[in-house]
Structure 1
Amino acid sequence: MSITKRFIIALIFSLPMLIQMVLMPWGVMLPGGHFTQLGLTTVVMLVAARPFLQSAWASFKKHHSNMDTLVAIGTVTAYSYSIYAMITGQAVFFESAALVVTFVLLGQVFEERMRRNASNAVEKLMNLQAKDAEVIRDGQTVVIPLAQVVAGDVIRVKPGQKIAVDGTIIEGTSTIDEAMVTGESMPAVKKVGDKVIGATMNQTGTFLFRADKVGNDTMLAQIVALVKKAQTSHAPIQNLTDKVSDIFVPVVLIISILTFMVWFSLLGASLGVSLIFAVSVLVIACPCALGLATPTALMVGTGRSAKLGVLIKNGDVLEAVNDVKTVVFDKTGTITVGQPVVTDIVGDQTATLKIAAALEASSEHPLATAIIKRAEADQVQSTAQLADFKAIEGKGVTATLDQATAFVGNDKLLADATISATLKAEMRRLQNEAKTVVLVGMNQQVIGLIAIQDTPKATSQAAIQALKERGLKTVMLTGDNQLVAQAIAKQVGIDQVIADVLPSDKAAHVQALQKNGKVAFVGDGINDAPALTAADVGIAMGSGTDIAIDAGGIVLVKNDLRDVVTALELSQKTFDRIKLNLFWAFVYNVLGIPVAAGLFYTLGITLSPELAGLAMAFSSLSVVTSSLLLNRTRLKSQQRTVAA
């Protein structure tokens, strides 16, 4: 039976006794008197309280105690004594047993609802995915259910339709709203060769794409799975809660027994009054709020991070983040774009690009691709006739262009060509900046230079600066040469560079850095997986390989390095909220016990079992509310992103 149903049953059967308690000063009593109360309370104990009793008994047989132990002992004591009192003609406390169960269940209903809301926020993404897809098979267009789509299918998407699964555009262009997955508010422009994400919304154009990932392999399905795993994970700090509860419960039982003995034996109170104080101690001390402190904050924190495009896989990460001293970055594809691009053109830009693009048009070399892309971006086109194309090993290529000999290549061509002093000085300057310099010329005369480099992402410098503001050391760990690595590091503000590192040695370098404190590693490639695993906190770029994503404890869906700061900040705030919850929950229990034990009885301050149960329920509610406030916590990283 669900907690909600048990609470409803407890509420229905205990409500008449609560009404009697309120109206008793005016002589209002339940029909049937004590027998009616016995019947109502018996239903509550047998149905609503049964799981508490079963849990307490199971723990007792294993020589342990838990939160249910206090509730079970308290309610059974009140119920059993009331039967004895009814037989002997004394005052009964059936309403105490029934109302304690009701209020404890009220706290659990709050918890369950919070858990459900946190989970539903993510699961609703799955419900928003397309129900079917327009697939082209055997030259025919057919609409099939989403479950029947297989990898390799070609799917047509029209404006206003949802994209069925993850894939790659093979025809057409469009703008796509990916906010539901990446959190990015601006629509993304997509063209042939670009990736699309299942369940996102197509806005403007019609396009065809090839299905790459379907079912549980889609990004959306993986996000949901990761967040669910994180929300049910066990943060190491929870071990402290378990240890506290294991000691706290026996101590409370001893205090409860001592309370009864002091009131009954030393102060001469009646058996009923002495039991009421003892039961109140048991109920007020029930550490339900302690039990809620960690999981509620964990669920809210990981749920919010998922909405921001940061997937936190487990509770271990939250605790490790707090002590991170150093953040280590892979270079290619993490700090940099991962593709060479033209950064400088020296000389006549149009003429230089025309010649270079004409000669490199048939090449698949990454540097040639960069030149072609720059020519397209600058709308530079060559109409010259190309002939006698020839590759010169180790130097470059030559061809006849408009009856003149053109060449494109590296500085080894200078053995066969001449270059002005100005261009030669510029070539050295660019090379000192760790850029690859392509020489472009006609008839053995260099007329221009094209500098190519894998440039930093637009957000890398801001991300590194934000990490420094948090007092963290930044390190670049790369297999690239020292000169190139230093140039990139200087552009983005990295503190330390470790270059010329073999993939197999990356983990060893991370372990060496760990001697000075905990380390977070950010990477995206297969060669980064060992370092991601070795680091105290592994942060994988969402565009990276599946192996890297599996190895990382945090995944950045939007591939924005600024989200490293968001991940660290939100993880720290979530962990801080767990500690705050634990502190207040524990203080509440400690402060409530003396009141429940009757220490302030002479001042007229007492706490009956039912009021203790109500107070305990609101203690749990306060912890849940505290956790939910994480959704409203301001993040400096997000304010900085908006400002940018």
Structure 2
Amino acid sequence: MAEQLVELNVTGMHCNNCAMSIHKLLEKKGFQNVLVSFASEEVKFSTADSAVLPQVIKDIENLGFKVVDDAHPIATPFYDKVENKLIFCALFTAPLLLHMLFPWHLLHNPLLQLTLCLPVFLVGCQHFGKSAFSSVKNGVPNMDVLIFIGSSSAFIYSLVGTFQHLGESYLFYETCATIITLVLLGNVLEKRSVNQTTSAVKDLMKFQQVNANRVINGGIEIISASAVETGNILLVNEGDQVPVDGEVLSGDALVNEATITGESIPVNKSKYSTVIGGTIVHQGNLKIMATKVGSNSLLSQIIDLMKKAQAAKPPVQKLGDKVASIFVPIVILIALLTFVITYFATDAGAQRAMMNAIAVLVISCPCAMGLATPTAVMVGLGRAAKNGILIKGGDTIEAVANTKYVLFDKTGTLTTGKFSINDIKAANGSDIELIRGAITAIEERSNHPIAKSLVTGLQGQPQQKVILMSATEEKGLGMRAEDIEGNNYFLGTAKQKTDDNFNLSLYRNQILIAQISVDDTIKPDAAKLIATLKKMGITPILLSGDKKSRCASVAKILGIEDVHAEMLPEDKLKVVDIYREKGKTIMIGDGINDAPALTQADVGVSMNDASHIAIQSASVILLNTDLQSVVKFLQISRHTLLTIKQNLFWAFAYNIIAIPVAAMGFLNPMVGALAMAFSDVIVIGNSLRLKIKKVH
């Protein structure tokens, strides 16, 4: 049975810790491609058996969360907002802390301290206790277990001291309240910070929430973009956002496509041009026919790709996940050992032993380890997207870190893809007008850049009209066609040896009737790209289906030494495998003829036709034609991986240093709670630097 992706909307997640609980639960049940985002309240996983869904929902709700049907549920109740819980607890915690600063008798009264602490403790029980109990019951103990045990220990210890009149040395109500308040503060800061890391997806989603002007019965009807159907005629005025993907029926306009492609210069659109939903009409007006709506639109596919990308974990995260999964039981064991050793091996007494154990519990922070990778990946993917680079997953980012070879297709990648006909040589006295007519008729049926250039180049020239019954494309070879008189045509690269100056051949009934010389120009920044790759220690390779002479000419101009010419799609696969055995390999192509090679390489990068086969075959899609996007992609990937490693280092180092310090009694539990809360923010802050830092 085929795997299917399940998407759930889950409310009640307050921090990454909550998301980790659900993540562990689903992984424990054996589900694949698990993605849990507390910021967007989304849970996704793959399963081959949809019958398990009701039980999965029940298990998630047993953890203390709520699965809702609506993707945009009603607002969180006032009392359940973590920000409001923080304010409530802070109002009661502040007077408790004042007794440490002022010798006012009233503030030192045990019953008053109990009265101030009790509401905070009850909020802590509701917020952390329920989650802690559910996570233990389901066999996936989370961070809330440590917070609940730590705060409860301080509260119960103080309660015993109060009712047995043991004196001030047994009163730690402020410790209990401060732990809960500071961890709530950490939750608030964490949620706000993570919201910033997911801003790229949210910014794109805003472009879907617009209205459209639908032309109906001679009038204009304003509807939501989500209500547009394929075939609807829409009017897009100057300053409007194009609501869906479509084809221009009439009008002339400059359209800013920066939101999708990262290209800042507006593109001219006229009849037969395609427009992309989410782009802005800068100047002019267009009447378009909707061709792709809803989940089929390019914008929706980009958003879906970015969401799925967050689920693809880099291998570097596996270490963090393993440690986090066994972290809570280990910390509880260390806390117990701390209490026992401090109480029995020293003269510190029960009070000091209890405080040291509580400090160990609250200083520990698996949240930082859990946040280290996904926050960096989210920011890295977002920055790449804003530069017109779609990266399909965090695993791709790590795969390019040690790249040794970059294999380039030639046409449309290193060259512009805009061709011109240099010459047509008629063979055996064939009629040149028939040749032109046949070329036009055949290439009108193809979307290949060469085909479009041939049709454009022959416009206005005398030609005999050829009417075709059928035409089929043979990838990597050319086009086959049959006209209404039963004549068979083949237009494409020829297996038999022909003049090297001519790279296309036209056959009629298996007889060569013409050779065509077609050439395109090298992109102006291609040489700079090749030079940059060499400086980065990466070997550029030219891998093309074009003739050896043309490939050699382009390679010489650009400074590429390794050339593989006249390659069919299956030949390209073999070449990719050869280089993969030598080191990490990136393949850059147009996503159509190169689709198998793009899939086979360690990382496939599509330079062209981002709305079609590229989205399925490539790991990375460059939405603009600027070759510097390749360098930008490598730079962002390397800096994202560097940020992940920095985050994991700080998360591990923090715990390795903090836990022994707390166990030896050098750390007050309240200071520990504050440090724990801000360790998450430090990791997230380091990730957010990726938004603005210079990558080189």
Shorter-chain TM-score bucket reads 0.7 to 0.9
- For the 8 Å contact 2:92–2:120, the answer to whether it is kept is no
SS in 2 for 1:618: helix
Alpha-carbon separation, structure 2, partners of 1:30 and 1:293: 45
- For the 8 Å contact 2:151–2:176, the answer to whether it is kept is yes
Q: CA deviation at 1:276?
A: 0.5
Moved more, 493-502 or 565-574: 493-502
Alpha-carbon separation, structure 2, partners of 1:388 and 1:68: 79
Higher gyration radius (CA): 1
- Normalized per residue, the structure richer in helix is 1
Q: CA deviation at 1:476?
A: 2.7
1:97 partner letter: C
* Residues 434 and 573 of structure 1, relative CA distance in 2, 3 Å threshold: farther
Among 69, 77, 88, the alignment partner of 2:145 is 69
1:277 equivalent in structure 2: 356
- For the 8 Å contact 1:10–1:48, the answer to whether it is kept is no
Residue by residue, what CA displacement relative to the aligned partner does 1:210-229 show, whole Å, maximum 9, x if unpaired?
Answer: 32211222222222222222
1:624 equivalent in structure 2: 684
2:633 equivalent in structure 1: 567
Among 395, 401, 408, the alignment partner of 1:322 is 401
2:88 equivalent in structure 1: 12
* Residues 311 and 509 of structure 1, relative CA distance in 2, 3 Å threshold: same
Q: CA deviation at 1:54?
A: 4.1
Alpha-carbon separation, structure 1, partners of 2:537 and 2:500: 31
2:102 equivalent in structure 1: 26
Alpha-carbon separation, structure 2, partners of 1:505 and 1:44: 69
SS in 1 for 2:626: coil
Alpha-carbon separation, structure 2, partners of 1:476 and 1:35: 80
Q: CA deviation at 1:473?
A: 1.5
Residue by residue, what CA displacement relative to the aligned partner does 1:294-323 show, whole Å, maximum 9, x if unpaired?
Answer: 121111111111111111221111211112
Q: CA deviation at 1:71?
A: 2.1
Moved more, 164-173 or 243-252: 243-252
Alpha-carbon separation, structure 2, partners of 1:325 and 1:582: 26
Residue by residue, what CA displacement relative to the aligned partner does 1:341-397 show, whole Å, maximum 9, x if unpaired?
Answer: 25699xxxxxxxxxx999958961668974785699xxxx99xxx79999xxxxxxx
Among 673, 692, 696, the alignment partner of 1:613 is 673
Q: Which has the higher contact order (CA 8 A, sep 6+)?
A: 1
Q: CA deviation at 1:209?
A: 2.7
Q: Does 1:207 align with 2:286?
A: yes
Alpha-carbon separation, structure 2, partners of 1:66 and 1:387: 76
Question: Kindly, what percent of the aligned residue pairs are identical?
Answer: 38
Among 92, 104, 107, the alignment partner of 2:183 is 104
* Residues 108 and 161 of structure 1, relative CA distance in 2, 3 Å threshold: same
- For the 8 Å contact 2:364–2:658, the answer to whether it is kept is yes
2:260 partner letter: V
Alpha-carbon separation, structure 1, partners of 2:501 and 2:139: 69
- For the 8 Å contact 1:233–1:315, the answer to whether it is kept is yes
1:524 equivalent in structure 2: 590
Q: CA deviation at 1:461?
A: 3.0
Alpha-carbon separation, structure 1, partners of 2:257 and 2:114: 60
SS in 2 for 1:241: helix
Among 236, 250, 262, the alignment partner of 1:171 is 250
Residue by residue, what CA displacement relative to the aligned partner does 1:486-511 show, whole Å, maximum 9, x if unpaired?
Answer: 33333333342223333234334322
2:231 equivalent in structure 1: 152
1:44 equivalent in structure 2: 120
- For the 8 Å contact 2:260–2:388, the answer to whether it is kept is yes
* Residues 54 and 506 of structure 1, relative CA distance in 2, 3 Å threshold: farther
Q: Does 1:477 align with 2:546?
A: no
Q: CA deviation at 1:233?
A: 4.1
2:657 equivalent in structure 1: 591
1:626 partner letter: N
Q: Does 1:337 align with 2:416?
A: yes
2:684 partner letter: V
- In structure 1, the gaps of 5 or more residues are 346-355, 391-427, 439-448, 600-605, 637-644
1:127 partner letter: K
- For the 8 Å contact 1:326–1:517, the answer to whether it is kept is yes
Q: Does 1:80 align with 2:156?
A: yes
Q: CA deviation at 1:64?
A: 5.5
Moved more, 336-345 or 586-595: 336-345
SS in 2 for 1:203: strand
Q: Does 1:134 align with 2:213?
A: yes
1:500 equivalent in structure 2: 566
Alpha-carbon separation, structure 2, partners of 1:554 and 1:611: 45
* Residues 341 and 15 of structure 1, relative CA distance in 2, 3 Å threshold: same
SS in 1 for 2:198: helix
Alpha-carbon separation, structure 2, partners of 1:173 and 1:388: 32
SS in 2 for 1:235: coil
Q: CA deviation at 1:623?
A: 1.1
- For the 8 Å contact 1:526–1:545, the answer to whether it is kept is no
Among 362, 372, 382, the alignment partner of 1:293 is 372
2:20 equivalent in structure 1: none
Alpha-carbon separation, structure 1, partners of 2:418 and 2:191: 48
1:302 equivalent in structure 2: 381
Number of residue pairs matched by the alignment: 569
1:348 equivalent in structure 2: none
TM-score relative to the length of structure 1: 0.78
Alpha-carbon separation, structure 2, partners of 1:34 and 1:266: 31
Q: CA deviation at 1:570?
A: 0.5
1:261 equivalent in structure 2: 340
- For the 8 Å contact 1:13–1:40, the answer to whether it is kept is no
Q: CA deviation at 1:195?
A: 2.0
1:627 partner letter: S
Alpha-carbon separation, structure 2, partners of 1:537 and 1:39: 61
Alpha-carbon separation, structure 2, partners of 1:578 and 1:369: 45
Q: Does 1:92 align with 2:178?
A: no
- For the 8 Å contact 1:177–1:187, the answer to whether it is kept is yes
- For the 8 Å contact 1:71–1:286, the answer to whether it is kept is no
2:658 partner letter: G
2:293 partner letter: V
Alpha-carbon separation, structure 1, partners of 2:684 and 2:545: 47
Residue by residue, what CA displacement relative to the aligned partner does 1:126-177 show, whole Å, maximum 9, x if unpaired?
Answer: 3245733334456665554433322233333332222222122233322112
* 1:351-370 mapped onto 2 (5 Å cutoff): 364=440, 370=453
* Residues 24 and 357 of structure 1, relative CA distance in 2, 3 Å threshold: farther
Alpha-carbon separation, structure 2, partners of 1:45 and 1:130: 42
Q: Does 1:161 align with 2:240?
A: yes
- In structure 2, the gaps of 5 or more residues are 1-11, 15-79, 425-431, 444-449, 467-497, 507-514
SS in 2 for 1:167: strand
Alpha-carbon separation, structure 2, partners of 1:157 and 1:514: 48
2:671 partner letter: L
- For the 8 Å contact 1:313–1:553, the answer to whether it is kept is yes
Q: CA RMSD in A?
A: 3.7
1:69 partner letter: V
* Residues 613 and 492 of structure 1, relative CA distance in 2, 3 Å threshold: same
- For the 8 Å contact 2:610–2:623, the answer to whether it is kept is no
* Residues 35 and 341 of structure 1, relative CA distance in 2, 3 Å threshold: farther
2:643 equivalent in structure 1: 577
Q: CA deviation at 1:241?
A: 0.8
Alpha-carbon separation, structure 2, partners of 1:127 and 1:389: 49
Alpha-carbon separation, structure 2, partners of 1:388 and 1:342: 18
